Amino acid sequence: MNKPLRRIALFCGLLILTLLLRDNWVQYVQADDLQSNKHNRRVTIERYAQPRGDIIVDGKSITGSKKTDASDFAYKRTYKNGPMWAPVTGYASQAFGATQLESIEDGILTGNDDRLFFRRTLDMITGKKKEGGNVVTTLSAAAQKAAFEGLGDKKGAVAAIDPTTGAILALASTPSYDPSSFAGNSTTTDTKAWQSLQKDKDPNDPMLNRALRETYPPGSTFKVVTAAAALEHGLYSDVDAKTDSPLPYDLPTTSTELKNEGNLPCKNATLREALRVSCNTVFGKIGADLGKDKMLETSEKFGFNAEQFTPVRSNASNFPTTMDQPQTALSSIGQFETAATPLQMAMVASAIANDGTLMEPYMVRELQAPSLDVIEKHSPKKMSEPLSKENAQKLQSIMETVVKEGTGTKAQIPGVTVGGKTGTAQHGVDNSEKPYAWFLSYAKTGDGSPVAVAVVVEDGSANRDDISGGGLAAPIARAVMQAVIDSKK
């Protein structure tokens, strides 16, 4: 071969080698990035080429799929009672992507998960159409309905947990939205529905998951955490012994008086009486006496200052890490910078009901293949132990007094032992906004504690005292607890 031909052959060989290298780079190294690229329309077309698997509650699907016309996408998602279940499912939209369970478990629902590889290969050989798997949740349809209907046209949220396992039983948020309204990709109907739900168009922000993603000042409901800290750190051991609680009480190093909501019997009140009538002075002084570090330790054992993954992410609740004594006192009654999600406060009630053991909250019981074979099953996990069994039972006793003869009487259920704590969280400049009404509680039957609940109502004709939590939020919590108890009969 002459020299020019050799050069041409060598050059062509280099071109072929470069092409092979590039081809392998694209197919193997960049494959995942290209597949997940939001501009890769083929991925979206393939995702909606067949019906999605379903999200299951109590053995029944709360989702479905519908054949579409005149679109690259063969099927679109549908939802049953969409607004009620939106805080659980999230949405799967051909135009706007997916959130929450629809996004996190997209691989299972579309059938693309690596754990379904053998199934997909077998279907290719047999010619069977590709199918998605199912996501089986821990939710209770009865509890969710009670929570959603209880909130009604009020703005707020409910979280309910099984204290013994951490299974989430209800997760409601209002106002809500129907994910079906923008599940397609129509530039008229779907886009219009989507735009109408955005916060700049609707200040009520219906797409905000208030149960997981909104942190509120917890007000007096946080006093149960402060009571737990007092017991755990040995400041007090007898819930019926008098505390060292002067009245009036000035915040440490200041001349600012910490006031109670009304003329309450709070001077040297016992922990039981102080929680029953909700004494700011008693619990503020407990926080100041314990100090920042001990209050922070107990708060973080309950889950504060950390995100929770259920697997849907919940915002981290906040207990301040940098405070002076007066700020510690205010934080210990749920003021200053203390803030909590409804899920977090349900976790607090859950740990107390479960004799001091906090279980990790979760909402997916198992993942199923299209054949309904279980490919992953959740095992309940202990998260922490915020307080001992002895101290948890002491705290249960005084929380039960709150419901029997305190501010939480509207949560009473005949034949059931209920413990609870009301709260009113003031906010806004100079507390000018309507207060948030809170109630956290748990129920106990002869078979144990099947449910713990936290309810927050953002707006309503709430009075500025703890009775507002008892009046607005406690009846919702009672309905949710009753629904769980009835469903187990």
Q: Which of the two residues, 41 and 283, has the higher pLDDT score?
A: 283
Residue 428 pLDDT: 47
Average confidence (pLDDT) over 200-209: 94
The whole-number pLDDT of residue 112 equals 87
Is a pLDDT exceeding 50 seen at residue 176? yes
pLDDT of residue 142: 97
Strand 436-445 relative to strand 417-425, pairing: antiparallel
- Residue 14: what pLDDT? 83
Assess whether pLDDT exceeds 60 at residue 461.
no
Active site residue 379: no
Answer whether residue 362 shows pLDDT above 50.
yes
The bridge status of strand 313-314 relative to strand 308-309 is antiparallel
User: Could you write out the three-class secondary structure of the chain?
Assistant: CCHHHHHHHHHHHHHHHHHHHHHHHHHHHCHHHHHHCCCCHHHHHHHCCCCCCCEEECCEECEEEEECCCCCCCEEEEECCHHHHHHHHCCEECCCEECHHHHHCHHHHHCCCHHHHHHHHHHHHHCCCCCCCEEEECCCHHHHHHHHHHHCCCCEEEEEECCCCCEEEEEEEECCCCHHHHCCCCCCHHHHHHHHHCCCCCCCCCCCCHHHHCCECCHHHHHHHHHHHHHHCCCCCCCCCECCCCCCEECCCCCCEECCCCCCCCCCCEHHHHHHHCCHHHHHHHHHHHCHHHHHHHHHHCCCCCCEECCCEECCCECCCCCCHHHHHHHCCCCCCCEECHHHHHHHHHHHHCCCCEECCECEEEEECCCCCEEEECCCCEEECCCCHHHHHHHHHHHHHHHHHCCCHHHCECCEEEEEEEEEECCCHHHCCCCEEEEEEEEEECCEEEEEEEEEECCCCCCCCCHHHHHHHHHHHHHHHHHHHHHCC
The residue with tokens 């008229």 is: 188
For residue 126, pLDDT over 70 is answered with: no
Contact status, residue 89 vs residue 55, Cβ threshold 8 Å: yes
In a domain, 379, yes or no: no
Distance, in Å, from the CA atom of 488 to the CA atom of 138, rounded to the nearest integer, reads 14
- Residues 479-488 pLDDT 10s: 999 999 999 8
Q: Do 324 and 336 meet the contact criterion of CB atoms below 8 Å apart?
A: no
| pLDDT of 425 over the 90 cut | no
- Pairwise CA distance, residues 287 & 269, whole Å: 15
Residue 180 clears pLDDT 80, i.e. is over it: yes
What pLDDT was estimated at residue 467? 40
Query: Average pLDDT for residues 344-362, to the nearest whole number?
Result: 98
Among 201-205, 378-382, 416-420, 423-427, the least confident range: 423-427
- Domain-located, residue 352: yes
Arithmetic mean of pLDDT, 26-44: 65
At 47, the amino acid letter reads R
Closest CA to 129 of 65, 70, 182, 178: 65
pLDDT above 50 for 465: no
Q: Does residue 127 have a pLDDT over 70?
A: no
Total tally of structural domains belonging to the chain: 1
- Here the tokens at position 113 are 């998960």
**Contact (Cβ atoms closer than 8 angstroms) between residue 35 and residue 44:** no
Residue 258 included in any domain: yes
pLDDT digits (tens, 9 = 90+) for 93-115: 999 999 999 999 999 999 888 88
pLDDT greater than 80 at residue 432: no
Residues 173, 181, 220, 331: which is the catalytic one?
A: 220
Q: Tokens 């951490």 identify what position?
A: 166
- For residue 23, being part of any structural domain is answered with no
161 assigned to some structural domain: no
Domain of 229, in residue numbers: 214-367+384-487
CATH number at residue 390: 3.40.710.10
pLDDT at residue 28 is higher than 90: no
Whether the per-residue pLDDT at 469 is higher than 90: the answer is no
Mean pLDDT of 148-172: 97
Lowest mean pLDDT across 136-150, 335-349, 467-481: 467-481
Q: What angle, 0 to 180 degrees and rounded to 10, lies between the N-to-C axes of helices 223-232 and 389-405?
A: 140
- For position 70, what pLDDT does the model report? 65
Judge contact between 454 and 349, C-beta under 8 A.
Answer: yes
- Tell me whether residue 327 is in a domain: yes
- Short-list 286, 289, 273, 386, CA closest to 333: 286
Q: What is the dihedral of CA 390, 393, 397, 400, to 10 degrees?
A: 170
Percent of the chain exceeding pLDDT 70 equals 90
Of 4-8, 123-127, 155-159, 430-434, the least confident: 430-434
Place of tokens 């950390």: 306
Q: What is the pLDDT of residues 268-304, one digit of tens each?
A: 999 999 999 999 999 999 999 999 999 999 999 999 9
Contact 62, 89 (CB under 8 A): yes
Any idea which of 34-38, 84-88, 306-310, 342-346 has the lowest mean pLDDT?
34-38
Give the least confident one: 3-12, 200-209, 233-242, 478-487: 3-12
Is 308 a domain residue?
Answer: yes
Q: Is residue 126 part of a domain?
A: no
Please give the backbone phi and psi of residue 237, each rounded to the nearest 5 degrees, phi first.
Answer: -125, -25
- Of the listed ranges 294-298, 312-316, 424-428, the least confidently predicted one is 424-428
Query: Residue 451 has what pLDDT?
Result: 98
Please report, to the nearest 10 degrees, the dihedral formed by the alpha carbons of residues 463, 464, 465, 467 taken in order: 20
As a whole number, the mean pLDDT across the chain is 90
pLDDT of 389 over the 90 cut? yes
pLDDT band at 25 (very low <50, low <70, confident <90, very high): confident
**Is 48 or 385 the better-scoring residue by pLDDT?**
385
Q: What angle do CA 380, 383, 389 make, to 5 degrees?
A: 100
